[in-house]
Structure 1
Amino acid sequence: MSVRGKARGKNGRTVVEVAGRWGFAARGVIFLLVGFLALRIAFGDRGEQADKGGALTEVAARPMGSVLLWLLGVGLVGMALWQLTEALWGQKTTKRVLSAGRTVFYAVMAWSVLVFASGDHSRGGGESDRQSHDMTARALELPAGQWLVAAAGAAIAITGVVGAVQAVRRSYRKHLRLGEMRPQVRTAVDVAGVAGGVARGLVFMVAGGFALRAAITYRPSEAKGLDDTIRSFADTPAGPWLLVVVALGLALYGLFSFAMAVWRRV
Structure 2
Amino acid sequence: MNASSKARRSARKAKADGERAGRQAAHSRSLRILAGIGYAARGLIYLIIGYIALRIAFGDSGGEEADNSGALQIIAQGEVGTILLWVVAVGLAALTLWQVLLALLVKGDAKKRLAGAVRAATCAALTFAIVTFLLGRGAPESQDSQAESLTAQLMSLPFGRWLIALIGLTLIGVGCYQIWKGATRRFTRDLTFDGASRTVRTAVVWIGTAGIITHGLVLGTAGVFFVQAAWTFDEDEAQGLDGTLRSFSETPVGPYALVAVAVGVVLYGVYCFCQARWQRD
**Bin for the TM-score computed over the shorter chain:** over 0.9
Counterpart amino acid of 1:164?
Answer: I
Match of 2:147 in 1: 132
Matched, 1:48 2:73: no
Whose Rg is larger?
Answer: 2
Q: CA deviation at 1:140?
A: 1.2
Match of 1:207 in 2: 222
Take 1:159 and 1:15, find their aligned partners in 2: how far apart are those partners? 30
Match of 2:107 in 1: 91
Secondary structure at the counterpart of residue 137 of structure 2: coil
Match of 2:138 in 1: 121
Contact 2:51 2:262 in 1 (8 A): yes
Q: CA deviation at 1:189?
A: 0.6
Matched, 1:67 2:90: no
Matched, 1:80 2:84: no
Identity of aligned residues (%): 38
How many aligned positions are there? 261
Q: TM-score, normalised by structure 1?
A: 0.92
Consecutive unaligned residues of structure 2, counting only runs of 5 or more, are: 1-16
Take 2:23 and 2:123, find their aligned partners in 1: how far apart are those partners? 24
Alignment of 1:1-266 (within 5 A): 2-3=20-21, 7=25, 14-46=29-61, 47-92=63-108, 94=110, 95-122=112-139, 125-266=140-281
Residues 70 and 218 of structure 1: CA distance in aligned 2, closer, same or farther (over 3 Å) = same
Counterpart amino acid of 1:3?
Answer: A
Q: CA deviation at 1:97?
A: 4.2
Q: CA deviation at 1:141?
A: 1.2
Contact 2:23 2:101 in 1 (8 A): no
Counterpart amino acid of 2:128?
Answer: W
CA RMSD of aligned residues (A): 1.8
Consecutive unaligned residues of structure 1, counting only runs of 5 or more, are: none
Contact 1:4 1:15 in 2 (8 A): no
220-229 vs 91-100, which moves further: 91-100
Counterpart amino acid of 1:151?
Answer: L
Counterpart amino acid of 1:76?
Answer: L
Take 2:149 and 2:23, find their aligned partners in 1: how far apart are those partners? 44
Residues 205 and 5 of structure 1: CA distance in aligned 2, closer, same or farther (over 3 Å) = closer
